[in-house]
Chain A
Amino acid sequence: MLKEGQIRIPSGCAISGIFSKSGKRITGDTIIKSISAMHDRSNGLGGGFAAYGIYPEYKDYYAFHIFYENTASKKECEDFLERHFDIINLSKIPTRKTRNITDEPLIWRYFVTPLPTKLNESQLDEKEFVARSVIKVNTKIQGAYIFSSGKNMGTFKAVGFPEDVGEFYMLSEYAGYAWTAHGRYPTNTPGWWGGAHPFSMLDYSVVHNGEISSYDANRRAIEMYGYKCTLLTDTEVITYIIDYLNRRIGLNFKEIAEIVAAPFWQTIERMPKEQKEKFTYLRNAFSSYLITGPFSILVGFEGGMMALNDRLKLRSMVVGEKDDMVYIASEECAMRIVEPNLDKVWAPQGGEPVIVTLNGGVEQCR
């Protein structure tokens, strides 16, 4: 049977996110409890989490989380890392044996920083150097897969129900200011752990519920700029689009939302002149990155989180607030189970991004 990446697998899903605007660090128990309330939205074939602010002691180093199929791939990958990076620390990622999580690969974590000589030689900026190294490992080294590569953040994922994945990775031992979680309902067996969500690149992480109809248009557009979609999942291509538009082009998250979930032309026609010009520009100049078909996504980034629905809102997603905390989930129950007394609950409209930042509050755009 083909593994994910060799075939494209559609899936339904549950997503959940928790964010402390003041940067208060929350342990992983809360997000596990939240996502497990939506147990029936996943089918045991994928679960995962992304956490921000969990490695304060190594906050200046890129934290690589890597799956290895065997020791040979580990050796080859470590050779590569040693040639290109200064490895400050490496260890197995601690896991707990749980009945429902089986067939685990070797799971390792490295805190690294690019070797100055290699970085200079490459004539790239540091993030681009790291991004290209990650893509290189994932496409060239058989059996090695870097599934997390940001600073002071990490993703944890596996084949299983999300609550079991959380227990497996012992997430109650980690504390961060932002968490996202994903429960997956793929139509096929993914065959390995890479296809689980979140998908991340540098400190961008994406959890996604949906099946985008624009997939191949988006994939073929983004692959022009050095990305290689190895998993054939929506989440992977969405992450690359966000990385490209934010880090490389320099668009902010609001502008990115206006491109990937652009308002309809009939809406743009009714806008005041300046706004109309701006939206027309974005839709024309970045037309290949419009995403159609159903999706609700949570994008984690350094110091913030963005929630976004497709422009027809073909997937459910609600936002709740309570004092310092912001909750975003596919279903309200996933928020109520961890915070029964929410101050405010609302459903963002299709294409209306909700951007939460540290000390910056909640911005409901448009």
Chain B
Amino acid sequence: MPIDFLYPDYEVVRDYNKCINCRVCERQCANEVHSYDEEKNMMLSDDAKCVNCHRCVSLCPTSALKIVKTNHTFKENANWTESAIKEIYRQADSGGVLLSSMGNPNNYPIYFDKILLNASQVTNPSIDPLREPMETKVFLGSKPNKIERDENGNLINNLPPKLELPMPVMFSAMSYGSISYNAHESLARAAKELGILYNTGEGGLHKDFYKYGSNTIVQVASGRFGVYKDYLEAGAAIEIKMGQGAKPGIGGHLPGTKIVGDISRTRMIPEGSDAISPAPHHDIYSIEDLRQLIYSLKTATNYKKPVIVKIAAVHNVAAIASGIARSGADIIAIDGFRGGTGAAPTRIRDNVGIPIELALASVDQRLRDEGIRDNVSIVVGGSIRSSSDIVKAIALGADCVYVATAALLALGCHLCRSCHTGKCNWGIATQVPELVKRLNPDIGYKRLVNMVTAWNHEIKEIMGGMGINSIESLKGNRLMLRGVGLNEKELEILGIKHAGE
């Protein structure tokens, strides 16, 4: 129907003076945008299929291609925006729920960008990380508030199981299935080289990756895919996924077409069956049930591994976190509403949840008010984009951060937000063998190592400027932060002063 015609969002612009008809673009595009017209001896493109992933642009040997936003427009309307109109056409045609991928792209406030950091002047010297030790090692886990001594008066190590990281960064959960084997291998190898951890997500752990166990967090989600004894014992920590920032209150659905081969084996479900993660865990309808699962997992692994409970940042996140801190969890992971996803209903992704900066600030303060902040460590994600975001998150009160979108970007993701189509041209969010092999794990893991190493250098530089030479002195150190352009209420929740105060 003519009303269903949607003019493409992006146009492929080809400079025919540069194009040599080598057809690389045609071979590289899984969306079949490019084609060769033999009669005219020229390359053509179908803009309607373009997702703007830049694969063709990046590989064009003569730089003949670029993608531009179309200037085709509806009559301008601040209320009925182009996307609002188009989404109605699409739903009127399909009758279905709109799907999206990656984090919420809408124009909500980004509090990290409205917080500024401090530096030393005169009364307190800054420290040069190139000349003095600058420490970023963190321990995650519960801390005792009493000591014990042996008969000789020596201190006894009464710390429960913990994670030790040389820098406050981990790769957050992305399942095998939602991303490719090569993407997982890159993450696992990078985590090992960096001494940090990556997270299996809810899709189980491929047998090839058990050897990276000491750098792995194994996830137990509502679908319980791939969960069995060896899996729980393989990781350095176990994460119970209660929620995800991109889709709080919503489960997951990996279509049967993707449940093939190794993915079916790793998830322990038959080939071709849909992998459906229920919205709630059906054995957890309240906090006391969560406690039982935490202790079941601890018992199953002989109390040797810390348990992480991951929740989405929602309105009463502080009270929820406080309940979790009293329920035996060692670490609470909070995922902000900008966190990524392989697929989520658009309306959920774009309208549910709250910013991680506010969630973190209120959780940290609530746990301190209740005197239980030392019961747990706090890890935040969704979305951490840079080393300065990390420094701000730690100064607000986090122990560590989770990054996923940034890690995918390091692997080549161009944030075209089309993961749900399964045709990722960069070999990340796809299971098509010829696409998967485009991501070379030998290169991928090094790029991840580079990114995290670079961030760690920057963290040290920023800390040195503040006169802080160990990351624990930055944790919760909100005096190092000032807000710009924030109102009284926002400052109060963040627990920071306005710049100039």
Q: List residues of chain A with CB under 8 Å of any chain B CB.
A: 8, 10-12, 187, 210-218, 220-221, 223-225, 249-251, 255, 262, 264-266, 277-278, 281-288, 290-294, 311-312, 314
Given A10-B124, A224-B368, does the pair A293, B467 have CB atoms closer than 8 Å? Answer: yes
A266 touches B473 (CB 8 A): no
Let me know if B302 is at the binding interface, CB within 8 A: no
8 Å CB interface, B126-182 against A: 127, 132-133, 135, 137, 139, 143-147, 154-155, 157-159, 162
Q: In the docked arrangement, what's the CA distance between A294 and B473, Å?
A: 13
Q: In the docked arrangement, what's the CA distance between A12 and B124, Å?
A: 9
A292 touches B470 (CB 8 A): yes
- Which residue of chain A has its CB nearest to the CB of B474? A217
Given A249-B146, A285-B143, A292-B468, does the pair A216, B479 have CB atoms closer than 8 Å? Answer: yes
Let me know if B9 is at the binding interface, CB within 8 A: no
Let me know if B374 is at the binding interface, CB within 8 A: yes
Given A214-B477, A278-B154, A284-B139, does the pair A293, B124 have CB atoms closer than 8 Å? Answer: yes
Q: In the docked arrangement, what's the CA distance between A214 and B144, Å?
A: 21
Q: In the docked arrangement, what's the CA distance between A278 and B473, Å?
A: 20
Given A213-B467, A213-B468, A312-B469, does the pair A264, B476 have CB atoms closer than 8 Å? Answer: no
Let me know if B475 is at the binding interface, CB within 8 A: yes
Q: In the docked arrangement, what's the CA distance between A250 and B373, Å?
A: 21
Min CB–CB distance A357 → chain B (angstroms): 17
Given A213-B467, A213-B468, A224-B374, does the pair A291, B473 have CB atoms closer than 8 Å? Answer: yes
Given A249-B147, A278-B155, does the pair A287, B467 have CB atoms closer than 8 Å? Answer: no
- Which residue of chain A has its CB nearest to the CB of B127? A312
B123 touches A12 (CB 8 A): yes
Given A216-B479, A250-B147, A284-B162, 5 other A-B residues pairs in contact with their CB atoms under 8 A:
A213-B467, A217-B473, A220-B477, A291-B473, A292-B470
- Which residue of chain B has its CB nearest to the CB of A210? B124
- Which residue of chain B has its CB nearest to the CB of A312? B132
Let me know if B371 is at the binding interface, CB within 8 A: yes
Given A217-B474, A221-B476, A265-B137, does the pair A292, B143 have CB atoms closer than 8 Å? Answer: no
B133 touches A266 (CB 8 A): yes
Q: In the docked arrangement, what's the CA distance between A355 and B368, Å?
A: 33
- Which residue of chain A has its CB nearest to the CB of B125? A314
A292 touches B147 (CB 8 A): no
B469 touches A281 (CB 8 A): no
B371 touches A224 (CB 8 A): yes
A217 touches B476 (CB 8 A): yes
* Residue from the list B143, B154, B480 in contact with A284, Cβ < 8 A: B143
Q: In the docked arrangement, what's the CA distance between A178 and B131, Å?
A: 39
* Residue from the list B137, B368, B469 in contact with A220, Cβ < 8 A: B368
Given A216-B479, A220-B368, A278-B154, does the pair A287, B147 have CB atoms closer than 8 Å? Answer: no
A217 touches B472 (CB 8 A): yes
A290 touches B143 (CB 8 A): no
Let me know if B478 is at the binding interface, CB within 8 A: yes
Min CB–CB distance B243 → chain A (angstroms): 27
Let me know if B120 is at the binding interface, CB within 8 A: yes
A215 touches B477 (CB 8 A): yes
Contacts of B436 in A (CB 8 A): none
9 CB < 8 A contacts A-B: A213-B467, A213-B473, A217-B477, A224-B373, A224-B374, A281-B155, A285-B147, A288-B374, A290-B472
Min CB–CB distance B127 → chain A (angstroms): 7
Q: In the docked arrangement, what's the CA distance between A220 and B154, Å?
A: 29
Let me know if B435 is at the binding interface, CB within 8 A: no
- Which residue of chain A has its CB nearest to the CB of B364? A220
Q: In the docked arrangement, what's the CA distance between A286 and B371, Å?
A: 15
A265 touches B135 (CB 8 A): yes
- Which residue of chain B has its CB nearest to the CB of A267? B133
- Which residue of chain B has its CB nearest to the CB of A281? B157
Given A213-B466, A293-B468, does the pair A281, B159 have CB atoms closer than 8 Å? Answer: yes
A216 touches B133 (CB 8 A): no
Min CB–CB distance B480 → chain A (angstroms): 7
Task: Give the 8 A-B CB pairs with smallest separation, nearest first.
Answer: A214-B473, A216-B479, A213-B467, A217-B477, A287-B472, A10-B123, A292-B473, A211-B124
Min CB–CB distance B130 → chain A (angstroms): 14
A264 touches B371 (CB 8 A): no
